[in-house]
A = this chain, B = another copy of it.
């Protein structure tokens, strides 16, 4: 049975949580979040073309990537506060396509080991307001996140396979 992406957003709270299990060791799932050549292969919805302008996943580093569809491009950027291999990534995140800047998100992605070389990812985003959180949920992020993780499943399967056969 395929692993499901669960997005939780309680009413009137300025946070959301995403939970997803993967059939791969957490070291690999973590690497897919910090190595640009892996990250570019899975983040975002199926129908967008992903490119990375910068991904310096270290304490105090920054990132910037762009999703393109047709003539439209959507830029995302932020700072890494902490990159603790292979446990946790904490940093800021902003989408520059909003009517104004300043709607920044603080995110924490935790990678937990599960029995059988599996992994649970728990991501928490906190927002400056409930409206910011609701806007994010209503933007269709859930589909994009779920499609991204499905692409990550495929990528991890190849990685696990190549590790096993190495």
Which A residues are within 8 Å of any B CB, using their own CB?
Answer: 13-15, 60, 62, 78-82, 84, 88, 90-92, 94, 101-102, 104-106, 108, 124, 126-128
Contact = CB atoms under 8 A, between A and B. Distances in A.
Chief secondary structure at chain A's binding surface: strand
Nearest to A78: B81
Given A14-B14, A60-B79, A81-B94, A128 B101 contact: no
Contact of A82 (B15, B90, B102): B102
Given A14-B15, A62-B60, A92-B92, A104 B81 contact: yes
Q: How many copies are assembled?
A: 2
Contact of A102 (B62, B78, B80, B88): B88
Given A14-B15, A92-B92, A101 B126 contact: no
Contacts of A14: 13-15, 126
Contact of A79 (B84, B92, B94): B92
30 contacts: A13-B14, A14-B15, A14-B126, A15-B128, A78-B81, A79-B79, A79-B80, A79-B81, A79-B91, A79-B92, A81-B92, A81-B94, A81-B104, A82-B101, A82-B102, A88-B102, A90-B92, A90-B104, A91-B92, A102-B108, A104-B108, A105-B106, A106-B106, A106-B126, A106-B128, A108-B128, A124-B128, A126-B126, A126-B127, A126-B128
